[in-house]
Amino acid sequence: MNDTNRDPAARGRLIGVLTALIILWPLFQAAQVQPGALFDPGNLKVIGNFLAAFLPPEAGHEFLGYLGIATMETLAIATAGMVLAFLLAVPLAYLATAAGREKSALNPFTRGLLTILRGIPELVWALVFVRVFGLGPAAGVLALGLTYGGMLAKVYAEIFESVDAMPARALRHGGANRVLAILYGLLPQASKELASYTVYRWECAIRASVVMGFVGAGGLGQLMDQAMKMLNGGEAASILLAFMVLVFSADGLSGWLRRAIDIPPSGRASPFGWRSLLVVLSLIGGITASFSLLELGFGELFTEDAARGISEFIVGFFPPDFSATWLARVGQGVWETLAISIVGTLLAAAVGLLLALPRSRAPFSFLLNTLRSVPELVWATITALAVGLGPFAGALALALHTAGVLGRLYAEALANAPQQPALALRLSGAGSSRAFLYGTLPGAAPQLIAYTLYRWEMNIRMAAILGFVGAGGLGQLLYFELSLFHYAQASTVIIAMLALSIAVDQSSAWLRQRMR
């Protein structure tokens, strides 16, 4: 064999692959990965009958009326939840940011609070609030407000700290207080980025509001949960179609809002153009309509009775159950959840990369959009029929949804990678496969890995709640304990969810720093 055709790095790559297999094998075992279950005759019959029932979609007038109301309710829950999140995020971001402050004593406490708010999945908050307020949109609105309030506040603080601090310092030295220094020194620089991120989070809140319906928080999710439990494929198909239309419409509206924010008015003395005025009027109208549709006022959420109910409910969670027997069960749930998140993310990365490669993007872009439009809990319900209840169903559900997300991001990263190395290899006689592997892929690899790690951070939170539909892990433990009113045990599970989320965030950040 000609030595010039050998890959000089082949031995190192082989050792790396073998090491990865040794490390990942226990995780695949914990996730109970059994590809043969996908081809089991019994499972194939069940999933085949269920999917066959999707056609034709339900189109009865009565059902379509319910579907329209649920769709509007989902949109209203997302909007109202974002209003609460914004009201919570503004003061927390003010406390968390070091910008314009001489002393930063409040930083550690505030940032710790933000970690707790965003570390506990919104579905867990929704399940807790459903126990307090009962079924309906109030639980979903509050859950979104807490989780997204923590997310918004963290990002707002980081945005403020990333802009030029000199104007704020000059105002402070001139005698202005900290509020005025931020308003006139930092906000003008950061306003577009703050608005753009807020609009993006609203788009995410629409997807999240559907998921929360699975625990009784109203909207399309609650309707979907009922259809799935009744194995009514026709209704489920109509609900999925409505949700996809809602997501695609939200994507388009979100993009329009971001473009309107990014385009400055020109040739006018006033800094506010018609686009800005239209955006403001749209926001006011949407917020008013959302609270009106839900028949939900701020006073209803913060009444004395509601506060008493929440405090009594929270007291039941303390002290957590730290007995050795229960900690062993929670530890097993943590291991299963970690395995689900890693296996699901790896499978998604492989599928996403394959879908990102084709040159003819149109049909594959539609497939990617479809995969990511269906919530993970819906995928988990379907995969549980295909392979049975357990962690493998959760890993497959994560893989299907995340493949749509990563495939889109991977395609953009590969398109933006330097093309000269691949072109040079092609001109020297290398085939297209080698040109991609040794020319294009190395240039895009850092971005691909960064996207994968970011997604893993999100997947660990979702893996922790897929058990709500029987997909194993901490979510299944939490759902059972809350259903049995074992709040001390549920408290331990929530603490484990939070600790696991923080650990994965830190590990992912450390890995990204090592790769720079």
Give the whole-angstrom CA distance, residue 309 versus residue 6. Answer: 70
User: Are 188 and 225 part of one and the same domain?
Assistant: yes
My answer on whether 182 and 281 are in the same domain is yes
Write the burial class of residue 468 (CB in 10 Å: 0-12 exposed, 13-18 middle, 19+ buried). buried
Confirm whether 1 is domain-assigned: no
Looking at the structure of the chain, the number of domains it has is: 2
Contacts of 71 (CB under 8 A, 6+ apart): 219, 220, 242, 243, 246
Cα–Cα distance list, 357 to 343, 360, 365, 413 (Å): 22, 9, 11, 11
- The residue that leads in pLDDT, 499 or 255, is 499
Residue 327 pLDDT exceeds 90 = yes
Residue 92 lies in a domain: yes
SS3 of residue 52 by DSSP: helix
pLDDT, tens digit (0-9, with 9 covering 90-100), for 288-306: 777 777 776 555 556 677 6
Name residue 240's amino acid: L
Specify the pLDDT at position 7.
58
Q: What is the pLDDT of residue 270?
A: 43
Mean of the pLDDT values across residues 368-397? 84
Output the pLDDT for position 98. 65
Mean local confidence (pLDDT), 253-270: 57
What percent of the chain clears pLDDT 90, i.e. is strictly above it?
A: 9
Q: What is the pLDDT of residue 193?
A: 76
pLDDT at 516: 62
Range(s) of the domain holding residue 468:
17-52+317-516
The answer on 321 and 311 residing in a single domain is: no
pLDDT bin (cut points 50, 70, 90) of residue 125 is confident
| Over residues 484-504, mean pLDDT | 87
CA 491 to chain CA centroid, Å, is: 23
pLDDT tens by residue, 438-450: 777 788 888 888 8
In terms of average pLDDT, the best of 65-79, 158-172, 270-284 is 65-79
The reply to whether 287 and 325 lie within a common domain is no
Residues 274 and 376 in one domain: no
**Residue 217: which region, alpha, beta or left (left: phi > 0; alpha: psi -120 to 50)?**
alpha
Q: Is the pLDDT of residue 222 over 90?
A: no
pLDDT recorded at residue 268: 42
Question: Could you tell me which residues come within 8 angstroms of residue 87 by beta carbon, excluding any fewer than 6 positions away?
Answer: 145, 149
Q: Per-residue pLDDT for 272 more than 50? A: no
For 487, the token pair is: 């709040």
How far apart are alpha carbons 128 and 326 in whole angstroms? Answer: 21
Select from 315, 345, 369 the last residue of a domain.
315
At 65, phi and psi to the nearest 5?
-65, -45
Q: What is the reported pTM?
A: 0.78
Mean pLDDT, to the nearest integer, of 105-112? 66
Q: 205: domain CATH number?
A: 1.10.3720.10
Shared domain check, 293 and 215? yes
With CA atoms as reference, report the closest residue to 212 among 203, 224, 198: 224
Return the number of other C-beta atoms located less than 10 Å from residue 1's C-beta.
5
Residues 336 and 286 in one domain: no
Residue 344: in which H helix or E strand, if any? Answer: helix 324-356
Same domain, 45 and 105: no
Answer whether residue 330 shows pLDDT above 90.
yes
Residue 104 has pLDDT above 50, yes or no: no
pLDDT at 431 over 90: no
Amino acid at 215: V
Q: Residue holding tokens 């609650």?
A: 222
Residue 426 falls inside a structural domain: yes
Cβ–Cβ under 8 Å, residues 86 and 198:
yes
Do 351 and 305 fall within a single domain?
no
How far are the Cα atoms of 237, 241, 354, 378 from residue 224, in angstroms, in the given order?
9, 11, 31, 8
Q: Which of 315, 341, 361 is the last residue of a domain?
A: 315
First to last CA, the chain: 37
CA distances from 54 to 217, 235, 238 (A): 25, 8, 8
The C-alpha atoms of residue 511 and residue 516 are separated, in whole angstroms, by 9
- Same domain for 233 and 326, yes or no, is no
Q: Which two tokens stand for residue 165?
A: 């601090």
| pLDDT score at 75 | 87
User: What does the mean pLDDT of the chain come to?
Assistant: 79
Q: In the prediction, which pLDDT does 324 show? A: 92
Provide the pLDDT for residue 344.
Answer: 92
Q: Which amino acid is at 282?
A: S
User: What pLDDT digit, counting tens, does each position of 348-375 carry?
Assistant: 999 988 888 765 555 677 788 788 878 8
Task: Kindly tell me if the per-residue pLDDT of 85 is higher than 70.
Answer: yes
Single-letter amino acid, residue 450? A
Q: Quick check: is 515 in a domain?
A: yes
Same domain for 308 and 185? yes
Within-domain flag for 5: no
Output the six-digit token pair for 442. Answer: 């190395």
- What does the pLDDT average to over 153-167? 78
| pLDDT on residue 442 | 80
- What's residue 396's pLDDT? 92
Is 509 contained in some domain? yes
Is there a domain that residue 11 lies in? no
| Assigned domain for 10 exists | no
The pLDDT score that the predictor gives to residue 454 is: 82
Tell me the mean pLDDT in the region 45-49.
79
- 337 & 355 share domain: yes
Q: Of 254, 280, 315, which residue is a domain's last?
A: 315
- The phi and psi torsions of 59 (rounded to 5 degrees) equal -130, 20
Sign of the dihedral through C-alpha 354, 360, 364, 365: positive
